[in-house]
Chain A
């Protein structure tokens, strides 16, 4: 298994543009998490899904952010419109069952100019 897969690995865009980050969890994992990492705030949980259903999105910074999980093998995190302060590394992680280890993807480094 290749582990959690994220694309793109790097994204550079201009303020106001729409950005879509993608994640493929490990096959068989029923939990999926989206995190954001910044120098100022460290690693923050944005949202997580269980069996494709969003359970807690209290970490999503504002309405410009949205996340979907249309099926068990794919999730997206969308920012529209993007702003320079959204520049960060976005990680996706998945786990099997409620109390098991979270496996992280390699992250997407987003730069908004």
Chain B
């Protein structure tokens, strides 16, 4: 069975500091990994996916199959980055994108 672990429930950094939100996964197949974000009073929305290899709002995430990790990084955090972040894993097969979510990390960027 697949599992996603986000070890930090809460993370605080100062504006301008680097930030890294950790995500580790376990899955016997070939995974597809995502980061979702939920800003205050807004819906859960996709931030980025590993297959896209893109940077969104300054965030990047690299899939490390050796370490089974998909950490989310940003070199200079902004106050508007404060939100709840969820790492999610999708089975590579099946009839739809079934997502398994981590427990989430609440990021607070302090002024």
Number of chain B residues close to chain A: CB under 8 A: 15
Decide if B101 is an interface residue (CB 8 Å cutoff). yes
**Chain B interface helix/strand/loop/mixed:** loop
**Closest B-chain residue to A56, C-beta based?**
B98
Known contacts A42-B102, A42-B103, A42-B104; is A100 also within 8 Å of B97 by CB?
yes
How many pairs of A and B residues are in contact by the CB < 8 Å rule? 45
Q: With both chains docked as a complex, state the minimum distance between the C-beta of B23 and any C-beta of chain A, in angstroms.
A: 13
Decide if A99 is an interface residue (CB 8 Å cutoff). yes
A104 near B98 (CB under 8 angstroms)? no
Contacts of A95 in B (CB 8 A): 96-97
Which of these, B44, B96, B102, contacts A91 with CB under 8 Å? B44
**Chain A interface helix/strand/loop/mixed:** strand
Decide if A12 is an interface residue (CB 8 Å cutoff). no
Given contacts A50-B96, A98-B95, 19 further A-B contacts (CB under 8 A): A3-B43, A4-B43, A31-B97, A41-B103, A42-B86, A42-B103, A42-B104, A43-B86, A43-B101, A44-B101, A45-B98, A48-B98, A50-B95, A55-B95, A93-B44, A95-B96, A95-B97, A98-B97, A104-B44
Q: B: which residues have CB within 8 A of A? A: 43-46, 86, 95-104
